[in-house]
Structure 1
Amino acid sequence: MMMKRRNFIKTTAEAVPLLSLFPADLAGMIRETPPGQIEKRSLGKTGEKLSMLGFGGIVVMDATPKEASSRVSEAIDHGINYFDVAPSYGDAEIKLGPALEPYRKDVFLACKTTERSRDGARKELEQSLKRLKTDHFDLYQLHAVTTPDDVKQIFAPGGAMETFLAARNEGKVRFLGFSAHSVEAANALMDQHNFDTVLFPVNYTTWYGGNFGPQVLERAHDKQMGILALKAMAKSPYPEGTTSKVPKCWYQPLTDPEEALMGLRFTLSHPVTAALPPGNEKLFKMALELSSRIKPLSDEEIKMMKEKGKAGTPIFQYPMA
C-alpha cells in the first residue's frame, strides 16, 4: 500500500504540479493576528502557534553584539516568535544566544545539526545549547539532508537519530524535525519516522519550473506535520560569471519589494506555518515591512505566478539532476 501511494504521489506530481493540490484555502489551519503584529499559525499537531515569518540565525551572523540585539528586538516588536539557527551558520549561535536571552521563554527556538552520527550529533547538540544559553530547544532538526546515503547514516546503528530520540526523552528537545534539499531525501525521511515538522523550499519557480515541492507538501500535510518553508524570496541561481552577489545569499534573491511580496504570498498561500526570509539583514527587514500585506493569492494571481514560475530558472528541481 505504501509503495502504491508513493508511486501515485510521484506520478501525479510529475504529470501536473498544480497549486490546486493546495488551494489558497487555509481553513484547516488556526490563524491569529494580534493587533499590530504578524499573523500566527498553528504548527501541525504540536499545539504551537508560530509567526508566519521566522527569524533565520544568519541574520545575526557576523553582526556586532549590539547589532544582533537590535535585529532580534525589532523582530520581537513585529511579533516574530519563531527563531531558527544552526552551527553551520558561522558565529550565528554565539551572536543569537545573548541577543535572544531576554525573550527566550516567549519564543519558539529551533536548531539543527548536519552531523549524521550519534556521537557527532550529541556533541553538536550540547554545544548549541550552551551557545544559545538555553536548557532545551523547542525543535531540533536534521539539517540539509539531501541524499539517500544521508538517510541511511542517520537511521543506522550509531546514527544521529539515536541522539535525537534520547535528547527528547531527556527534555533537551521538545519536537523533532528535518530540513531537506531534495524530494528524494524528504520522502525517505518521512518513510522512516513520524517527524513533527519539515523545513523545505517552497518557492514559485522551483514549484512550477522545477517540479519541486508538491510531492513533499502533500505527504507532510497528509501526515499533519508542521510545514516550515525556505526560499520563498529566491529568484534563480546567479548567472554564470556573476561577481557581485547579495551577502549571505547563495542564490539570486527577489530584491524588489513587490516581487518579494508575491514570493512570500505564494509560499504562505499553502498550508505552511512559517516562511524563513533570506539571512541578509536588509532583505529580512524588507520582509518584516511587507508582513502586514501578506495574504493568500487570488485565482488570477495564481495563474500569473504559475506562468512566471514556469518561465524562470529554479534553484532546485525534481528529480535531482
Structure 2
Amino acid sequence: MTRGRQFRQNSEGTLVECSMRYRRFGRTELPMPVFSCGGMRYQFSWQDVNPSTIPAENQRNLEATIRRALALGITHIETARGYGTSEIQLGKILPRLPREKLIVQTKVGPRPTAKEFRETLETSLRNLQLDYIDLLAIHGLNLPEHLEQVLRPGGCLDVAREWQASGKIRFIGFSTHGSLEVIRQAIASDVFDYVNLHWYYINQQNWPAILDAQARDMGVFIISPADKGGMLYKPPQRLVELCAPLSPMVFNDLFCLSHPQVHTLSIGAARPSDFDEHLKALELLDQAGEILPPILARLEQAAIDRLGEDWYHTWHEGLPDYRHTPGEVNIPVILWLWNLVQAYDLLDYARMRYNLLGNGGHWFPGANAARIKDLDLGPCLRHSPHRQKIPRILQAAHDLLSGTPRQRLSQS
C-alpha cells in the first residue's frame, strides 16, 4: 500500500494532513485510492434530461464534490450509464481536469445484441467527453443470462474488446448484485480485470468471490458501504454504542479495508462534506489489528444475546434459493434482515430493503412474505435445522417490515 500526502480541513477549519492510501488494483496495475468517488448521488436526475434543464447550482455542487475528492487524493471517479445525468454532468468538468491523474470508470449494462451494447457505449463516451475511459464495467451482471449475453460469440465482451483494442477502454470488469454462484461463475471465466460487488460487516456472504478474485489478480471494488452497508449515515443508537469509540461508518470502512484483498470502497458523495467521516478511517488503518477485535467481539456477543447462540450460528443452513421456494419468497434475505433488526436495531435499513422485494427486479430478486400463510414451506425447508419456526419468523418479519413498496433509485 502506498500513501499520498494531502490536506483536509478539520471541524475547526484547520488544515490537517490526510494521507490517502493507494492499493494496486489487481492486474490493471492502477494505483487505486482506497476510497472512490461514486457518481450516483450528486447528479440532478435519475433519468436523462435536456442538459439545459440542469440547474446551475446542482452542477456547481457536483463540480465542488469532484474537486474536493481530487484534493483529498481520491483520483477514481466512478459513474454509470444508468445514473441518469451523472455522466453528462461529469462531462462538463472531467475534460478540464488533468486526465493523466484521473481513473475514470463508467458502467454499461449487458444488452441482448452487440448493436445495442455498442450504442450505449457510444452514448457514455460522448456524455463524458473523453477520448478513453480507464475502467468499463458490465453493469448489473446479476443473472446467468446476463453472463451469457456478455460471453457468447458476438456478445457484449467482443464489443468491449474492440473498444479496448482501439484505445477507448483500458480495462474491463463487471459490477453485480447477483448471487454468489453467478459472481463466482463470472470470475471463473477469467475475462474480467476487476469486480464491483457488495461486501460489508453486515453482509459477508460474497467473501468466497473476493478470494476467487484475488486468486485471479483482479481488482476488488466494494459498492456503497455507507448505504448498502446499513445506512450508516443515520445509524441506530444501539449500533453507535456497539461500535464505539468509532462511528459505525468508520468501523465499517476500517473492517473492509483491514482486508488487503479489498482495494477500494465507493463513497457515493452527494456534497463535498460527505467524504469527511470516511477520512477518519485512514488515520486508523495501521492500528486496525488492535482497534477492531474488541468491537467485533462486542457486535457478535450483542447479536448472540438477542438472537440466541444456536440461531446466530446456524440460521442460514439449509435455506432454499428463492427460485425453489413457493411464491419465490426470498427466505434467506428476509431472515437476514430480521436478524439485523433484532441484533442491531437496523429497522430503517431493513424496511428499505424488505420493501424492494418484488419491486427491485433482478437487482433485488424474490418476493416478500406477504402470502406466507397461504404457502406450504415444509418441503423447501426440510434441510433447515429451524424449519419449524421459520414460517413464524417470516410472518413476524412481514408484520414488522412491510410498508409502501419501494423501487430502486434508478427506477424512481
Please report the TM-score for the alignment, with normalisation by the length of structure 1: 0.76
| 1:260-275 matched pairs, under 5 angstroms | 260-270=249-259, 271-275=261-265
Distance 1:225 1:70, change over 3 A: same
Name the aligned partner's letter for residue 34 of structure 2: M
Contact 1:120 1:160 in 2 (8 A): no
Please say if 1:308 is aligned against 2:299. Answer: yes
What does residue 203 of structure 1 align with? 200
Please say if 1:255 is aligned against 2:234. Answer: yes
What does residue 149 of structure 1 align with? 145
- Residue 79 (structure 1) aligned to one of 57, 73, 76: 73
What does residue 223 of structure 1 align with? 216
Rounded to whole Å, the distance in 2 between the matches of 1:279 and 1:119 is: 33
Contact 2:132 2:169 in 1 (8 A): yes
- Residue 96 (structure 2) aligned to one of 94, 102, 118: 102
Contact 2:64 2:272 in 1 (8 A): no
What does residue 207 of structure 2 align with? 214
Rounded to whole Å, the distance in 2 between the matches of 1:136 and 1:61 is: 22
Please say if 1:184 is aligned against 2:181. Answer: yes
Rounded to whole Å, the distance in 2 between the matches of 1:157 and 1:204 is: 39
What does residue 106 of structure 2 align with? 111
Looking at CA atoms only, which structure, 1 or 2, has the larger radius of gyration?
2
Rounded to whole Å, the distance in 1 between the matches of 2:201 and 2:79 is: 24
What is the aligned length? 271
Distance 1:77 1:59, change over 3 A: farther
Contact 2:249 2:278 in 1 (8 A): no
CA deviation map 1:249-294 (0-9, x unaligned): xx73443571100011111111211100234437733345435435
Distance 1:214 1:303, change over 3 A: farther
SS state of the match for residue 64, structure 1? helix
Distance 1:234 1:298, change over 3 A: farther
Please say if 1:57 is aligned against 2:39. Answer: yes
Rounded to whole Å, the distance in 1 between the matches of 2:126 and 2:93 is: 14
What does residue 375 of structure 2 align with? none
What does residue 64 of structure 2 align with? 70
Contact 1:51 1:79 in 2 (8 A): yes
Rounded to whole Å, the distance in 1 between the matches of 2:234 and 2:201 is: 15
SS state of the match for residue 98, structure 1? coil
Rounded to whole Å, the distance in 2 between the matches of 1:255 and 1:73 is: 26
CA positional deviation for 1:71 = 0.9
SS state of the match for residue 153, structure 1? helix
Rounded to whole Å, the distance in 2 between the matches of 1:163 and 1:294 is: 43
SS state of the match for residue 250, structure 2? helix
Please say if 1:134 is aligned against 2:126. Answer: no
Percent of pairs with identical residues: 21
Rounded to whole Å, the distance in 2 between the matches of 1:55 and 1:111 is: 12
What does residue 38 of structure 1 align with? 20
CA deviation map 1:120-147 (0-9, x unaligned): 2211111111111101110111111111
Distance 1:189 1:307, change over 3 A: farther
Name the aligned partner's letter for residue 43 of structure 1: F
What does residue 331 of structure 2 align with? none
Contact 2:39 2:86 in 1 (8 A): yes
Distance 1:231 1:60, change over 3 A: closer
SS state of the match for residue 221, structure 2? strand
Please report the TM-score for the alignment, with normalisation by the length of structure 2: 0.60
Distance 1:254 1:72, change over 3 A: same
Q: Which has the higher contact order (CA 8 A, sep 6+)?
A: 1
CA positional deviation for 1:100 = 2.2
Distance 1:155 1:115, change over 3 A: same
CA deviation map 1:284-309 (0-9, x unaligned): 33345435435163266246336637
Contact 2:69 2:272 in 1 (8 A): no
Rounded to whole Å, the distance in 1 between the matches of 2:297 and 2:226 is: 15
CA positional deviation for 1:89 = 0.6
Please say if 1:293 is aligned against 2:293. Answer: no
SS state of the match for residue 176, structure 1? strand
Gap regions ≥5 residues in structure 1: 1-29, 237-250
Rounded to whole Å, the distance in 2 between the matches of 1:131 and 1:307 is: 48
SS state of the match for residue 162, structure 2? helix
What does residue 119 of structure 2 align with? 123
CA positional deviation for 1:160 = 1.0
CA positional deviation for 1:40 = 1.4
Name the aligned partner's letter for residue 78 of structure 1: L
Contact 1:204 1:305 in 2 (8 A): no
- Residue 191 (structure 2) aligned to one of 191, 194, 207: 194
Cα RMSD after superposing both structures = 2.6
Contact 2:35 2:266 in 1 (8 A): yes
